[in-house]
Structure 1
Amino acid sequence: MILVTGATGLVGSHLLLHLLENKEETVRAIYRNEKHIIKTKSLFDFYKKIDLFSKIDWVRADILEIPSLEIAFQNIDNVYHCAASISFNPDDEDQLRKVNIEGTANIVNFCIDENIKKLCYVSSIAALGNLAQNESTITEDSEWNPEQLHSDYAISKYGAEMEVWRGFQEGLQVVIVNPGVIFGPGFFDQGSGAFFTSIQKGIPFYTNGSTAYVAVTDVVKIMQLLMNSTSNGERFILISENISYKDIIYSIAEKIGAKKPKIEAKSWMLSLAWKLDWLFSLVFRSQRKISKQASYSLQNTDLISNEKIKSFLKYEFLPIDTYLDEVVGCFKN
């Protein structure tokens, strides 16, 4: 039996669908709140696969609650760990570390204790290393530089990876995937999905920084392929393309019929923005909207490589612009 954590999120929901479509063995999914299951059911309905939804073995559990995990791990052979806390608000540091690091440690410990055959952990490109002076592209082998500025989210995902590598050293078969920004239908109130909502409302600024993007369908397909492969103790970057923020915003805005931003946010503007935001949050006790780390990442232009996974699986990623048409179709509905 397969266990999927984070089954009510973007990746977890699509992974459930993909596994059942490919007639995998019984799939058990973890949920914390029954209301969240509705989103997963809606996704199956969107793809006209609602008949497969009834085949999911749902178990109420929390990766931070040991007793509930004891029930969830009964008769499990393989684990896909997709659950995570995602936030770039500095005020959420404790929550990020607890869920992403402590929660992953719990999953790893249960995998070891229950003799799980293999664990696939969904990390992030945020946990990748930094460019050295002699490098032009970030790869799986790029080294993490603790002296560089990293977001609390990145640090928590890096810490979670350390827990997975600990499990590997203790004999657990593992594979880590580092997806870029993941686009997919549904979940437009959270994560990358909220990007569409923001653009629809209108974004006045753009930056010439860039990051890497990937279709959720590519992510879940590759996860299953890696779990069924001989790969063990390796990590793989999962991205389709490196695209500037300006280009991705313009592309989405055009597809959904929203206004395109006309003002480029210069580095000094972003620097001023996070400082003022910090001051306002301190004085008015409001939630942070942009952090120092976020302002730097919006200006970052480091390129990320997907050559390792393409070579290992002979895999070709979906073009982002083409896949966005499917996502926008769901968004409009």
Structure 2
Amino acid sequence: MIFVTGGSGLVGSFMVAALVARGLPVRALYRQQIPQISAAEAVEWIQGDIRDVLGLRDALEGVTHVFHCAGLVSYAPQDEEELLRVNMEGVANLVDACLERPGIRLGFVSSVAALGSGPAPAETELPTTGPLLVDEQAKWDLGAAHNAYATSKYLGELEVWRGVSEGLQAVMVNPSVILGPANWDRSSTRLFRYAYDEHWFYTPGRVNVVDVRDVVTTLIRLTLDTSRTGERYVLSAGSLPLREFLAQAATCFGKRPPTTAVPDWAAETIWRLEHVRSLLTGARPLITKDTARAGRRPTEYQADKIRRELGWEFRPLPETIRWCCQELVK
């Protein structure tokens, strides 16, 4: 019996469908609405919350494997406490519930945000123009400034490592921005909505992305087909300039791509104005300090480990973008 958290989310819904396609019995946790997927009728759905300790204990009855796909992605200041409740406290609850049932194996969806950015360059080192290369060996800098989302994912990983130290069999994946057809107004799918709405502006910088189908398949293989534990794997198909991503998406939609770059000084001004507006009105800011500054320092997330150990090849980025656009239009 497989238990999936976040069954109504982007990763969770694809995870459920892939497990059912394998012929496995699946029990899935959802919060508000069962996703409209072809495999839905073959699933035992449980409405609940990852923060409900007693509910998690009951949901794990008879379970052999758990895929933790639930999580909150937000850069809005209003969500800082909720990020900790879901991405850290929720993981702690799940780990504790798993430890109460020895033999359960956990496949955990983390994020590249939890990796940190590697060692800071020494003052004597010459500046480089190339991207910052980050892999599974990157160390979290406790003295550096991190946004609330990254911090919550890092603390969630610590809970998994705690579980491993207490005997839990667990493997983690750290995907970059996950692309897939989902709700227009949630998570990474908002990038496609931005291209579809024909906005004029874009921010300079690059974005690292990965296909949701690659995330699901690699985590299933690591969790069900191997005995690896206490390991984490970066999942990223590569990076491309944000302007190019939006242009490809707009072209697929038959829309006009953005043409005007927002300079750094303008982005700094805009996020401050949006912050004041959100404080006065309670509305969520359209751009935050973190999103305004995202991608300024080129970063490449290295997925050599998963390629080497599973012989894995990621789907090409243009193929993923086209697939997402086609499915979103449907």
Report the TM range for the smaller structure's normalisation. Answer: over 0.9
2-structure distance, mates of 1:136, 1:299: 11
- Residue aligning to 2:127: none
- Residue aligning to 1:47: none
**C-alpha contact 2:234 2:302 (8 A) present in aligned 1:** yes
How far has the Cα of 1:82 moved from its partner?
0.6
Deviations 1:163-189 (A, max 9, x none): 000001101011111111111123323
DSSP 3-state at the match of 2:42: coil
Structure 1, unaligned runs of 5 or more: 45-49
How far has the Cα of 1:273 moved from its partner?
1.5
**C-alpha contact 1:150 1:293 (8 A) present in aligned 2:** no
DSSP 3-state at the match of 2:183: coil
- The alignment's TM-score, normalised by the length of structure 1, stands at 0.92
Residue identity in the other structure for 1:16: V
- Residue aligning to 2:19: 19
- Residue aligning to 2:169: 173
Structure 2, unaligned runs of 5 or more: 123-130
**C-alpha contact 1:151 1:294 (8 A) present in aligned 2:** no
Residue identity in the other structure for 1:31: Y
- Residue aligning to 2:315: 318
- Residue aligning to 2:91: 104
Residue identity in the other structure for 2:74: S
Residue identity in the other structure for 2:243: K
DSSP 3-state at the match of 2:29: strand
DSSP 3-state at the match of 2:67: strand
- Residue aligning to 2:126: none
Deviations 1:234-291 (A, max 9, x none): 1101111111111101110111122211111121111111222222333444322222
Counterparts of 1:1-333 in structure 2 under 5 Å? Answer: 1-24=1-24, 26-33=25-32, 36-37=33-34, 40-41=35-36, 44=37, 50=38, 52-132=39-119, 133=121, 136-227=132-223, 228-333=225-330
Residue identity in the other structure for 1:28: R
Task: Tell me the matched-pair count.
Answer: 320
**C-alpha contact 2:132 2:297 (8 A) present in aligned 1:** no
DSSP 3-state at the match of 1:7: coil
How far has the Cα of 1:293 moved from its partner?
2.1
2-structure distance, mates of 1:158, 1:72: 25
Deviations 1:144-200 (A, max 9, x none): 113333221111111100100000110101111111111112332311122222221
**C-alpha contact 1:5 1:83 (8 A) present in aligned 2:** yes
Distance 1:255 1:2, change over 3 A: same
**Which one has the bigger helix percentage?**
1
Identical positions, percent: 33
**C-alpha contact 1:131 1:142 (8 A) present in aligned 2:** yes
DSSP 3-state at the match of 1:211: strand
Aligned CA-pair RMSD: 1.6
2-structure distance, mates of 1:144, 1:85: 20
1-structure distance, mates of 2:189, 2:284: 20
